[in-house]
Structure 1
Amino acid sequence: MKTIAILHGPNLDRLGKREPEVYGHATLADLEDFIRVGARQRGLGTTFFQSASEGALVDKIHALTDEGIAGFIVNFGAYSHTSIALRDALSAAELPAVEVHLSDIKAREPFRHHSMTAGACRAMISGKGFGGYAEALDQITQWL
């Protein structure tokens, strides 16, 4: 069974508490359960990692790549808009990746409209809530 990594950036651990009018009341644990079930239905294993530290996320991408992970689904939160380091780490991995945002980044503040890290991904899904992760699973399954 191929395993994909789901990486969550800063503030994703605050789901259910932070801006529920934007992100809803479900928690990160709820999201991970949703992804785990969907991945299993598609014949995929999962591993999850969340950090507010950009360096820890870069290190995790490198480690997982070296361990033979099949691909990535990423939501780097605010780092999506600023991090060349995360973009470079994903590019260097040379694995299929999908970036997901729970909210619609184009409908939010102007500084959120561009994702620096999406350029290292084969697709970017924004504004579909948990459903965006199901769509990401469908896409990544096609590439593996």
Structure 2
Amino acid sequence: MKKILMLHGINHNMFGKRDPVQYGTITLDQINERLNELAKELGVEVESFQTNHEGEMCERIHQAFFENTDAVIINAGAWTHYSYGLRDALAILTVPIIEIHMSNIHAREEFRHHSVFAEIAKGQICGFGVDSYLLGLRAAVAAIE
């Protein structure tokens, strides 16, 4: 069974409480439940990981390399716009990387318009709330196949 790693970034543990105008009221646990339901339909396994610590995120990406993960979906939150450390860790991987965001980062503050991951990602999905995650999973499965 193909294994996809879902990486949730900084502050995502606060979904459901944080800025409901941008992110809605869905919680991280509910997002993960929706991903797992779709994963079963698609015949893949999704492992979700969330941290507020950049070094832990890098270490989880390194672990994915050694585990032969088939694809990575990442919503890095604010790290998207400045974490060259995470970008470099992701660049080690030889699998499809799908970048996602719940909000449309291109319609928000200027600093959010740039992604340091864009050059190494297979694609970017943003602005569809929880559906960004589900579309990202479908994109990852398609990229694997």
TM-score normalised according to structure 2 size: 0.96
Which residue matches 1:142?
A: 142
Identity of aligned residues (%): 38
Q: CA deviation at 1:118?
A: 2.3
Q: Shift of the alpha carbon at 1:107?
A: 0.9
Runs of 4+ in 1 over 4 A off after TM superposition: none
1:20 paired to 2:17 = no
Aligned to 2:53: 53
Distance (Å, rounded) in 2 between the aligned partners of 1:41 and 1:68:
22
Match of 1:43 in 2: 43
Secondary structure of the residue aligned to 1:90 is helix
Once the 2 structures are TM-superposed, how far is the Cα of residue 94 of structure 1 from its aligned partner? 1.3
Which is worse superposed, 131-140 or 60-69? 131-140
Root mean square deviation, CA, Å: 0.9
130-139 or 46-55, which deviates more? 130-139
Aligned counterpart, 1:6 = 6
Deviation by residue 1:50-73 (Cα, 9 ceiling, x = unmatched): 011111111100012101111100
Structure 1: segments with no counterpart, 5+ residues: none
Q: Partner amino acid for 1:117? A: F
Aligned length: 144
Cα contact 1:88–1:120 (8 A) shared by 2: no
Helix, strand or coil for the counterpart of 1:4?
Answer: strand
TM-score, normalised to structure 1, is 0.97
Residues 1:129 and 2:129 are matched in the alignment:
yes
Does the aligned pair in 2 maintain the 1:73–1:100 contact within 8 Å? yes
Distance 2:17 2:137 in 1: 26
Deviates more, 1:134-143 or 1:81-90: 134-143
User: Cα deviations across residues 98-121 of structure 1 (Å, max 9, x unaligned)?
Assistant: 010000001111000111122221
Q: CA deviation at 1:22?
A: 1.1
Report the equivalent of 1:109.
109
The one-letter code of the counterpart of 1:79 is W
What is the letter of the counterpart of residue 69 of structure 2? I
Secondary structure at 1:118's aligned position in 2? coil
Where does residue 68 of structure 2 map in the other structure?
Answer: 68
